[in-house]
Chain A
């Protein structure tokens, strides 16, 4: 997994609440059995003039020249709510988004971000609109710097602090593979399973009473 330590980039304001994962990547854009090829479909419903089309809607923030190379999104409460589709995060990553700063996240989306090296930063609404105001004056000049080591955001002379749970921070900073990490606990998991099997055999039946792979 891609690590996240310090990132400086163009930030684009998309200051709505409840931007759902259907909006981040409409289902019609999830065409292939793959995590790739989704960047083009990012925000497709807003980004293009016609559903399924590729003619850019010039008024959508990411299409405006001053926001080229955007790598940070500024948004409202409950960003990434709705469907659990991880395609939303894959699309953001492929587009080049490294961090989303919002005043709240959908729970599944939040975890999906961490698992894919995107930093979800939670700030209050006021701080985000201040940030947006600064950026808007000249997005290509007023870059936003996010330092996950120190949990700080800097934009010009404005410095903000944010919090991220230690587990998620550690994962992101080191670009860890959670599966490999958990498999280090395999013994403990096996032990737990054996105890559980003894105590709650009903929870394992009928799967374990049957021949492997052949179920009733």
Chain B
């Protein structure tokens, strides 16, 4: 075992964050990393706490552990502890009991600060630039967007994190994804990340921590950066990071758990050092020209199966590798789609706006801007689920809920909702859903539900048209029709 020395060479942002939290390097090549925050949710938190106690361990410092009810909790207005999944209530009650016993701060079902873990942790300043955060949820990488070292873990790791305040981790390699160029109108961070995964594969980031850099990334607002980093796990990366800048400072200023006064000044001073040194070396570097990117949608059951929305469903033969052809055939069968069919000609049954990818205020604003003054296509079901209760309240203050409900959307309470099937709610078998979520796996949104991922604006536009269409195309087609 050795104690890590001072960092002298040119260093990447990720490595800076890593070595700053290295308690020691272990003999076996792993690093013992110090954790600043641990977040739990009701899906796995109660099991982790139960099992920790059963093994005779306690929580090292409960003040740094937080828990929310997001995964299973119902999102119908006026909800209580009941869920459509018969045993869902057990998870909620167990979480309540376990967190209370361990003295862990819980954002309960009726808490005004409740919401999806990855939405509420920055919203309240529970995660900050330069901190480490882990959560037994794969989309914890979302928080890298503000310059935190945050990654998803399993339940056993969550137990280890709580008991010891550390994790044993093998250091991943460094990758930089440089995105330059101006985004075309209507193109968002979601389209960027879907394109990235399509181009370099769902496995493209395996073994790496990814730093997103370049002028396009700098131009993105903080909430859009969350969307970008959220899907790093769909790229198979260990996590993603973005260097914090003045936008991030402004974002955190005054948040409940953000440092105040002198602490704030110290924090900001430190945050300004959190960037890759000019001469830092990356094990792999990818370049993306953002100006060529169009609004995207997934057609298959892997996040790499992506097309631009004006295109058609690809023919499996057009994929060079055997495994891509095979998975295309399987995906088309599951999705019940014929190759060659234009996306605009494919009708949808439902539209879902929500999840830790796209449920923040700016996402709802983007969707509402499309929906305003229009109506959902007949037969299409639309559901909007704000990522947190605070987002919900802020949206209502702006009248976004009115815009959505007037257009025929359901306006829900906050939670993961139909991003996946845990609460027992689904759009149903064989239903084609366009969704702002992050996973289009078979059965993700319920048995035999067909999921297509896209940005909030695209989902909103498609709900209005009843088929796959971008907001720009929708506006054009209406202009032609009038």
> Chain B nearest CB: distance from A185 CB in Å?
6
Query: Main SS of chain B's interface residues?
Result: loop
Nearest chain-B residue to A106 (Cβ)? Answer: B236
| Chain A, Cβ-Cβ closest to B92 | A33
Q: In this assembly, does A207 line the interface, its C-beta being within 8 Å of a C-beta of chain B?
A: yes
Q: Is A158 an interface residue (CB 8 A)?
A: no
Q: Which residues of B contact A (CB under 8 A)?
A: 23-24, 26-30, 32, 34, 36, 43-44, 46-47, 50-51, 55, 57, 62-64, 85-87, 90-91, 94, 103, 105, 128, 130-131, 136-138, 152-157, 159-160, 163-166, 168, 170, 172, 202-203, 206-207, 233, 236, 238, 256-257, 259-260, 263-264, 266-267, 270, 302, 323, 326-327, 420-422, 424, 429, 439, 441-444, 447-448
- On chain A, the residues within 8 Å of B429 by CB distance are 51
* B168, A182: Cβ atoms closer than 8 Å: yes
Say yes or no: A83 contacts B138, CB within 8 Å.
yes
The 6 A-B residue pairs with the shortest CB-CB distance in the complex, in nearest-first order: A167-B28, A51-B447, A115-B156, A202-B263, A86-B154, A202-B259
Instruction: Return A79 CB to nearest CB of chain B, in Å.
Output: 11
A84 touches B29 (CB 8 A): no
Report A20 CB to chain B, min CB distance, Å.
Answer: 5
**Which residues of B are found within 8 Å of A78, using beta-carbon distances?**
202-203, 206, 236
* Stretch with Cβ within 8 A of B (4 or more), from A5-13, A22-30, A134-142: A22-30
Known contacts A86-B136, A111-B157, A165-B28; is-contact A81 B202 (Cβ 8 Å): yes
Identify the A interface with B (CB < 8 A).
16-18, 20, 22-23, 26-28, 30-35, 45, 51-52, 76-78, 81-86, 89, 104, 106-109, 111-112, 115-116, 165-168, 170, 177-179, 182-183, 185-186, 188-189, 192-193, 196, 200-203, 205-208, 210, 212-213, 215-216
Contacts A/B (CB < 8 Å), 10 sampled: A16-B326, A23-B442, A33-B50, A45-B442, A86-B155, A108-B154, A179-B55, A183-B164, A188-B24, A216-B257
Contact of B447 among A52, A86, A104, A213 (CB under 8 A): A52
Q: Which single member of B62, B157, B443 contacts A23 (CB below 8 Å)? A: B443
Give the number of A-B contacts (CB < 8 Å). 202
Q: Is A215 a contact of B447 with CB atoms below 8 Å?
A: no
Q: 6 extra interchain contacts, Cβ-Cβ under 8 A, other than A86-B154, A179-B160, A201-B263?
A: A109-B154, A112-B155, A183-B163, A189-B32, A196-B34, A200-B267
C-alpha spacing A157/B159, complex, angstroms? 43
Query: Once the chains are docked, how many angstroms separate the CA of A178 from the CA of B85?
Result: 34
